[in-house]
Copies of this chain bind each other. A is one copy, B any other.
Amino acid sequence: MKQDLRVMKTQESLRNALLTLLKTKALDSISVAELCRLAKVNRGTFYSHYKDVHGVFKHYLEVIVEDFKKAYEEPYYRTGFRIQYIRPEMIKIFDHVNRYKSFYQIIFHQKIPMMYYYLLFDTVRKFMYESLENNHINPELEVQMDYLISYQANAILGLIMEWNRQDYATPTEELSKQLITILSINSPFRNKE
């Protein structure tokens, strides 16, 4: 049983309308009414498909997360996460973010709800979880996986947020070089000795 043609038409129309509106105004300033007017969809119909405008936007995020996963899961990544190999892995991620920066700018915006951030956070966490499993590291250390993963995953997102804050001025190559340097620092705030 496939999708009803009318449903597909309605949703596609709303998605196109959102893309059009996003060219000229911020996501959080787009109302359901405005979106429906442009898409020529009855407002009642809208509410039978989505809860709010974010519901429509979420569709794009799913596409992006899909690309994110693809960028990450290419065969040679499965080699692990050792520091000397981190560059080719990360540059792919940074390339991905760079490719979709117009969306990341929206997602990271002050007025946008945390839900999108969590989607990214969870995606990165899942990647790291798999990496850690494959490499079964530090069984002697008493670290709760969840904390280690959340620490590392959010650190990467912190890097990307900084990149976003600087309007993606840093080239991806430079960014991954920065990451390598950061990772090579043993303890984050050690003194020189």
Contact = CB atoms under 8 A, between A and B. Distances in A.
Main secondary structure of the interface of A (DSSP, over half): helix
Contacts of A115: 110-111
A81 interface: yes
B189 A186 contact: no
Q: How many copies does the complex hold?
A: 2
Interface size class of A (residues with CB under 8 A): 35 or more
A4 interface: no
A82 B189 CA distance: 6
B189 A135 contact: yes
B135 A147 contact: no
A159 B150 contact: yes
A156 B189 CA distance: 13
Interface of A: 80-83, 86, 108-115, 117-118, 121, 128, 131-132, 135, 137-138, 141-144, 146-159, 161-163, 165-166, 170, 175, 177-179, 181-192
